[in-house]
């Protein structure tokens, strides 16, 4: 993995792991994850299979946020 690819992948993972932002703005955070994943693919930093993995992780994060918000009343 090249240094640039590794740096950009780590930035995406940091965004994925930003639980506070995810819980405060679940929809916006999910959109940013999807947009960033697609940008990595368009720049040919990741391939189609890797894009699919990132999109699946983004969807999982959104599902987690929705469950957490429903369970804890976080947004109230």
| pLDDT, tens digit (0-9, with 9 covering 90-100), for 1-40 | 678 888 888 999 999 999 999 999 999 999 999 999 999 9
User: What pLDDT was estimated at residue 8?
Assistant: 87
State pLDDT tens for residues 36-72: 999 999 999 999 999 999 999 999 999 999 999 898 8
Structural Rg of the chain based on CA atoms = 13
Place of tokens 């999910």: 30
User: What pLDDT was estimated at residue 76?
Assistant: 53
Strand spans (E) along the chain: none
Q: Please tell me what DSSP assigns to residue 75.
A: T
């Amino acid at each position: 993995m090249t240094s640039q690819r590794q740096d950009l992948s780590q930035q995406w993972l940091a965004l994925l792991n930003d639980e506070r932002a995810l819980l405060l703005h679940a929809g916006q955070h999910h959109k940013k994850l999807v947009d960033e994943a697609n940008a990595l693919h368009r720049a040919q930093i990741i391939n189609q299979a890797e894009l699919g993995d990132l999109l699946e992780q983004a969807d999982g994060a959104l599902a987690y946020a929705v469950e957490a918000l429903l369970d804890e009343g976080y947004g109230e």
